[in-house]
Structure formats: C-alpha cells, structure tokens
Amino acid sequence: MAAALAQAPDALDGARRLLTAGRAAESAALLEEFVAANPKSAEAYLLLGAAYTVVPQRGKALTAIGKAIELRPKWAAAHHALGLAHGRFAEPEAARTAFERALALDPRFVDARVNLALVLIQLGDRAGALSQLDRAIRARPAAYPLIVRGKALMEMDRKTEALDSFERAAKLEPENAEAAFRVGLAQRTLGRPEAAASLRRAVDLDPRNAMAQAELGKSDLAAGRAKPAIAHLEIADRLAPGDRTTLYSLSRAYRAVGDVSEAEAAEKKIRALLDASGKRDAALYESTGLNNEGVELDKAGKYEEALAKYRAALELDPLNPGFRRNLGLALCRLELWSEAKVELKEVLRIDPNDAEASRALYLALDRAAERR
C-alpha cells in the first residue's frame, strides 16, 4: 500500500498532510518510498528533511535537506529549512549561516529574516536581531515579528519601546492572545493602570494560557481583589503545576480572604518543590546572587534594573522576606506605591519587627492615598 502511494501523483500532498497533522514518522516513511522512486525530486527531499526534523532524527534530517540543496542549490526555501533543522538541534551558528544564505538568495524571504532574528537573539546579538525584525516588519507587518521585537526590547530594558511593539501587534491582530498578553505584561512592568484590562483580554482570548491567568491573578491580588485573584491563580496552577511564584501568590490570596489552611498548603508545596531533587541549595544560591546584584544596582540608582533582579530572585525563592522587602523598597523608589504597599504588608506579616519595611509601608500608604 505504501509503495503504491509513493507512486501516486498526490503522494507529496498526502505526506504534507500527515506532517501537518503531527504524524511526522508516518510522513517520513511515505517520503522515503517516494524519494526511492523519484530521486530527482528536491521537493520530496525537502519535505522528508522537515519530517525528520520533527521526529526528530538529526542525521536523516540534515542528509535529506542537503540532498534537496544539492538538487537545487539556489533554492532559498531549502536553505531556510536547513536553518530550521539546525535550530531544532540546538546549533545556532549553523542555523545563522543557513538563514543568511536563504536571504542572500531571496532578500524578500520574510520568514527567513524573522528566524535569523531569533537565532541572533539566542547568540546574544539583540541589536542585529532588531535590525532584521525591523526589515521584516517593513516588508510584511504582522503580529509575530512585532512580538519577537518587543520581547527583545524587554530583555534590553527598553520597556516603553517594547510596549509600543506589543501594542502594534495587538492592533494588527486584535484576536491574537499572545499579543494581548504581552501588552498586559509590559504595562504591568511599567506600572500602567490599564494592565489588568489587557491581561483580562488575554485570558478571554485564551483561557488556557497559564502565564496570562497567573499574571492576571497577581494583578488582581495587587489591587486588593483577592477572590478573583484566587480563581485565576488556581486555574494557572492547574494548567502549569509547580510554578513557585504562582503558588506563593495563591498563598497570599488565600490569606487575604482568611483561608489560612489553604495558604499554608500552598507554601508547603513551595518548600517541597525547592527540596525536590536537591534543588533547594542551588535555587537559594542563585536567588541570593540575583538579590545581591539588585542591591548593587539600587546603590547605583538603577532602580528599574534592580527591580527586575529582585523579581527574578523571588521567582526562585518566593518565601524570602529579605528579598521581598528589597522589592518593596525598590517599588517605593519608583513611586509605584500601590504595588509597594502590598509587598511591604507581606514582609511585615512574615516579620512584624522589620523596621525598615514598616517605615516604607507608612510612606507607601500615604502616597497611595494621595493618588486616589
């Protein structure tokens, strides 16, 4: 039966449908028979390489794509597929070379340009990636390259520009859940009041996005809406179990509604996660390093960068009151009073004798009241 299909005129379409349906191994088996009968079909070899890339079988994937390039050396799509395969097998330098070759053959190949940008980000060349993304967006405005651009800008601490990129993506594709989520996340990072509405929009578009559910829950919790926060955080925990920051936010939300037993159960899960596979010492070591980096940035007046370090430290060790106090103080320095008071109240719940947190909390309460 397979041999008969391999000779059929629509065999390539059938193999392509199998691959699209997630049946890569079956697609590869059909294509192996097809190329045996049609050894000059560059298209079949390219599709075979794509199937083996998904399976994944590195050697067979690269051999098949190499055969397609041998048959059609100036076929940009084949060089692009080679870049995708190298990327799949964690070979970014080789992927870069392949994508660059595809673009040399076809400078209007937008997907190759976006994938080259992704590889450049992986290699640490964010400036080069932004240049490629800007060219891709000018050629074909779309949400995906704008989202990639925004994420690169966030990593470069250019948050306002990142937000603009995410907002452009959301405007181009209003039903794009990822764009809506990135808008909300950037707005929340910048302390924008409209962040909650954007995150709610992201959840409405994709209720199974665990990160969006978690961030909306954290936003609701920071605004004093503990009950809706619990609903979103519980969904996030079901969708992506084991996230320490989600569990810690959930424990705080439970405490806010007076459910101490559930709060303690969530905190117990966090400790168990830290203890699992001997990861506690490694997590504490890394989180302490991040916190110390934040302190140095704080001293240098780089408060936004310090804030990012404290948040990263707390993702690893959310139960550490010292890290959370530093976060609260950094929020005060950035005049993000509402969020600061939430964090500082949590510090004082854990350690009522923390005088520095207490002084900062009174200041945050006063400033937050003035802004009402």
Exposed, middle or buried, 95 (CB in 10 Å: 0-12/13-18/19+)?
Answer: buried
Does pTM surpass 0.85?
A: no
Instruction: Give the start-to-end residue ranges of the domains of the chain.
Output: 1-73
Distance CA 51, CA 56 (A): 8
Q: In the numeric block, which tokens belong to residue 134?
A: 């800007």
Q: What is the pLDDT of residues 116-173, one digit of tens each?
A: 999 999 999 999 999 999 999 999 999 999 999 999 999 888 999 999 999 999 999 9
Q: In the numeric block, which tokens belong to residue 93?
A: 């330098």
Q: What is the pLDDT of residues 258-270, one digit of tens each?
A: 999 999 999 888 8
Are 336 and 307 contacting, i.e. CB atoms less than 8 angstroms apart? no
pLDDT at 285 over 80: no
pLDDT at 275 over 80: no
Q: In the numeric block, which tokens belong to residue 275?
A: 């203890």
* Choice among 181-195, 288-302, 333-347, 352-366 with the minimum mean pLDDT: 352-366
Q: What is the pLDDT of residues 75-115, one digit of tens each?
A: 999 999 999 999 999 899 999 999 999 999 999 999 999 99
Distance CA 328, CA 109 (A): 47
Across the chain, what does the average pLDDT equal?
A: 88
Determine the 3-state secondary structure of 225 from DSSP.
Answer: coil
Say how many C-beta atoms besides its own lie within 10 A of residue 161's C-beta: 16
Name residue, tokens 């949400």: 143
Select, from the ranges 15-29, 159-173, 332-346, the one with the highest average predicted confidence (pLDDT).
159-173
Q: Does domain 1-73 have CATH number 1.25.40.10?
A: yes
